[in-house]
Structure 1
Amino acid sequence: MDQPPPGIDPSNIPLAPNPNGDPPNFNSPESLQTTVLATGIAFILVSGICVVLRLYTGLKKSRKLFADDYFCVAGEIVGIAQWAVQYTMMTHGLGRHSWDIPATALTLPVMKLQLASQMLAAGTHFAVKAALALFFIRVFGTLRWVRITCYSLLVLTLLSYASYEVIILIFCIPRSGEAWDHLIVARCTTGAPSTIAVGVCSVVADLVLFVMPFPIIAGLSLNPQKKRALGIVFLIGFLVVVTSVVGLAYRVIVAVCRL
């Protein structure tokens, strides 16, 4: 946003106009702070238990950890860090509708937290996808098409997320002689199209990782209990694909609104 005219208090200016035409609500606006806190703690507990059980089972069976285990742990740790950054941003006045956030909320700590959140999010997504691809290579690596598919996915996701982080560093960090201000925020938003490209790569990777096990297990003879367990796993995988598609849709909407 541009600098306000002289005599205008920026604390009374919202980050964006309300599409309904209503005035901003800076006193008691709707906020996602409680939701982010509650869902974050719940998912951290569930995912943490799953990771611990995975490591325990792997160590008990193989007496060692594999590359996919390490990436799984890395994804959990970086994901928790990213959630912590997101929640901290909520405590600084974000997590509301943009028209209920005053311009003064874009403080130096908030801008740095936003940058950290973007960097950590990319690292989390890559670690989780890499863990799945490496797991398939370890378990089904005797199948040539599985190896080719998984290694291709690793290269695709690494290049997409690495290029995204480079773009963030180029557009969202002040250059020599610049300060952290609204101009940096405006320039950072010009990199929005890159989020669409990353979102497309993410959806493709999620779809491939979701579909890939089907031809592998199609010929297996499984008892009803194992079939139910696989059904739960595939349901979770399907939900991941859905959230990935929804995330891409919102990226497109945000990018179009900024044009």
Structure 2
Amino acid sequence: MANVTTIIPALSPPAGKTSNFVDPDYIGTKFLVVNCVFLPLALIGLVIRTWTRLFVVRSFRTDDYFMVISLILSCVLTGVTLDMLNWGLGRHMWDVPLEIFSPMFSKLNLIAAIFYCAATGFTKCSVLIFYLRIFPSRNFHMVVWTIVFIAAGYSIASILANILSCHPVAKSWDSTITTGYCMNRPVFYFANAGLGIFTDFATVVVPIPWIRKLQMPVRQKLAVVAILAMGCSVGIVSCIRLASLYKLLTSTDLTWTTTNALMWCTIELNLGIFGGCVTAIRPFIRRYFPRLLGLSSGGGYDSSRSRKQVHPLNSLPKSRPDFSGRDAHYSTTLTTLRDTPGNDSEEHILSGQHTNNQNKIEEVEGIIRTVEFDVENSSRTAQME
């Protein structure tokens, strides 16, 4: 082992500090803990989502594939950043040997940035494409595709900017190259985070006007709003990450300040993956743990509170209903089950109950559409004519 007195630090220590290569200050432990908490959380969410799409809904679409890719990239990101702990991450730069910082730390830091940009791009596109399955409005689709274009565009641009941040490219990690030039990478990270925050909150805000128009119970609307709130929490984490990037922008102690920046990147990415998979949790619980939602109690629609006659569409009773009353009212219910061909909407979010021909409450896992019409007694009008 080389004598510590002959080791050249990656950065000269500030006044009053000396390099410590034996037992330096270290904050890498909290970074390890964060990865051990949030990556399994995202993995659990994706496993539930995948199982639900394959075996409950039996419909695996583009947004599901995107989310799987996002988690794979997140796993790679975690592996790369944890390896960075062996090359200076979590220590002050003056406690890191120059031969370790360059090229290994710089090279791994570049790889981590590339995988992070790709993973967040796939996550946001997955959530936005999922919206297209719920809301049929053409105007809404145009708005969503615009945000998809922005999210995918800046993600691809970020990947290319990281790869081509220096000329020659190797100058990004090899400090021995003195010719060429490099862009100010912290400033680029700061601008990239700003675009990320915009798309995070745009993803949450855009569906709200259309949610108000959905014909479903208030309780189910609140459930959808709760799902969107998960996206809002991701936006808040993005703001915190932006603050950590500001410190990175103003500091020369890269190995120390990069730790917090990467930590918030990990939290934001994996929380976004989990939030994007929350949509599958309710149908999963309905299928396997219905008591958790109180579904076994028959709660929900209470036929005793309504004086309407409710029957499935095309299943009207053979006997002629009595329309002689002054306030005669008749309604029909069309239930589209989950296996109906062409039903591309997220029917499990809107699943509920209806009354069958025997006036009994039964569960349906589909979209309930109620069509009501009034029949008035027109005999008096006919006599007057």
- Report the TM range for the smaller structure's normalisation: 0.7 to 0.9
1:247 counterpart letter in structure 2? R
- Rounded to whole Å, the distance in 1 between the matches of 2:97 and 2:242 is 27
Judge conservation of contact 1:173–1:184 (CA < 8 Å) in 2: no
Q: Which residue of the other structure, out of 194, 209, 222, is the alignment partner of 2:203?
A: 209
Q: Which residue of 2 aligns with 1:3?
A: none
1:132 to 124, 127, 132: 127
Partner of 1:29: 24
When structure 1 is superposed on structure 2, of 68-77 and 151-160 the one drifting more is 151-160
- Counterpart of 1:6 in structure 2 is none
Q: SS state of the match for residue 83, structure 2?
A: helix
Structure 1 residue runs without a partner (length 5+): 1-8
CA distance in 1, matches of 2:181, 2:233: 34
TM-score by length of 2: 0.56
Bigger strand fraction: 2
Select which of 54, 59, 63 maps to 1:59.
Answer: 54
In the TM superposition, 1:61-140 aligns within 5 A as: 61-140=56-135
Report if aligned partners of 2:63, 2:125 keep a CA contact under 8 Å in 1.
yes
Change (3 A) 1:93 1:68: same
Quick one: distance in 2 between partners of 1:182 and 1:93?
16
- Pairs within 5 Å for 1:1-259: 11-15=7-11, 17-18=13-14, 21-140=16-135, 142-172=136-166, 174-175=168-169, 180-182=173-175, 187-188=181-182, 190-220=184-214, 221-222=216-217, 224=219, 226=220, 229-230=223-224, 232-257=226-251
Aligned residues: 247
* Matched-pair contact (CA < 8 Å) for 1:55–1:69: yes
User: Aligned with 1:181: secondary structure?
Assistant: coil
CA distance, structure 2, for counterparts of residue 216 and residue 209 of structure 1? 13
Looking at secondary structure, tell me which structure has more helix per residue. Answer: 1
Amino acid at match of 1:191: R
What is the percentage of aligned positions where both structures have the same residue? Answer: 24
Q: For 1:126, what is the secondary structure of its paired residue?
A: helix
8 Å contact kept, 1:14–1:24? no
Cα gap change, 1:179 to 1:159, in 2 (>3 Å): closer
**Aligned AA for 1:106?**
F
Corresponding residue SS for 1:106: helix
Larger radius of gyration: 2
CA contact (8 A) 1:85 1:116 kept: yes
Cα RMSD after superposing both structures: 3.1
**3-state SS, counterpart of residue 107 of structure 1:** helix
**Structure 1 length as normaliser, TM-score?**
0.80
In the alignment, structure 2 segments of 5+ residues that lack a partner are: 253-385
Shift of 1:242: 0.9
**Which residue does the alignment assign to 1:5?**
none
